[in-house]
Amino acid sequence: MRLSFQTFFSIALLVAGVAGAAVVGLGSAARVAAAAPASLRVQVVDADGLPVRDAVVELRSARAPASPIRFPWKMGMAQKNQQFTPGTLIVAKGSTVAFPNLDMVRHSIYSFSKPARFEIDLYGRDQTRTHTFAVAGSVKLGCNIHDQMRGYIRVTDTPFAGKTDHNGYVALSGMPAGSASLTVWHPGLRSPSNESKSGITISGGAQTHKLTVALR
């Protein structure tokens, strides 16, 4: 069967339209994939390859956070069984931290750390004291009555921060793509200020990264 020129031309336009729509669809999908928020799973291990627990991992990108920094956990560190609980707490710069005493004995809190030098006098069970941490950095806490008590407040200026689990892993998400820096902090890390810094490039989608640190 012979097609007229007009019929042939109509079919050609239809085929071209379908192909064009497919290309546009692919382009839209690519843009959606590129716009998807990035996620980063970091594992911190020591020189023997063993996981490092309770290491603080912070990611800083070239773009400053657009909104106030908030973390999903409570801004609180209790005194329980003559220990600070949790032993390490991450807070945003400017946060006020509550220190409830859950023990039968009285406790005090002090810090000689440069980012926060302060002292809270003795207070008893079911009482709470607070302190505001206005400077980023690491704060080591102690109790004047119980020398064995040690706690750490990591005050950060980035929303992309977390603490490693018992397998040495921490997951960060929502950061923009591009170059960034990674900081690992741990009280036993063998380096100035107990920190290790390295560069990283964040791409769209999920990434994994392994960091080896030297511990005392």
Residue 120's domain is classified under what CATH number? 2.60.40.420
In this structure, the answer to whether residues 137 and 198 fall within a common structural domain is no
In this structure, the answer to whether residues 77 and 116 fall within a common structural domain is yes
The pTM assigned to this predicted structure is 0.81
53, two tokens: 């627990």
Domain count, the chain: 3
Biggest distance spanned by C-alpha atoms of the chain: 101
In this structure, the answer to whether residues 114 and 187 fall within a common structural domain is no
Rounded to 5 degrees, what are φ and ψ at 203? Answer: -110, 170
In this structure, the answer to whether residues 207 and 194 fall within a common structural domain is yes
In this structure, the answer to whether residues 84 and 15 fall within a common structural domain is no
pLDDT at 63: 74
Domain end position, chosen among 157, 187, 203: 157
Residue 77 structural domain: 68-157
pLDDT at 38: 87
pLDDT at 203: 87
More confident residue, 21 or 108: 108
Q: Give how far the C-alpha of residue 181 lies from the chain's centroid of Cα atoms, to the nearest Å.
A: 12
Q: Dump strand ranges (E) for 107-163.
A: 107-113, 116-123, 128-133, 137-142, 150-156, 161-163
Rounded to 5 degrees, what are φ and ψ at 151? Answer: -140, 160
17, two tokens: 């339209």
Tens-digit pLDDT profile for residues 57-104: 999 987 767 778 999 999 999 999 999 999 999 999 999 999 999 999
78, two tokens: 């209790």
Average of pLDDT values for 22-31?
41
In this structure, the answer to whether residues 120 and 191 fall within a common structural domain is no
In this structure, the answer to whether residues 94 and 174 fall within a common structural domain is no
In this structure, the answer to whether residues 88 and 130 fall within a common structural domain is yes
Tens-digit pLDDT profile for residues 155-195: 999 999 999 999 999 999 999 889 999 999 999 999 889 99
The one-letter amino acid code at 112 reads F
Residue 2, class by beta-carbon neighbours within 10 Å (0-12 exposed, 13-18 middle, 19+ buried)? Answer: exposed
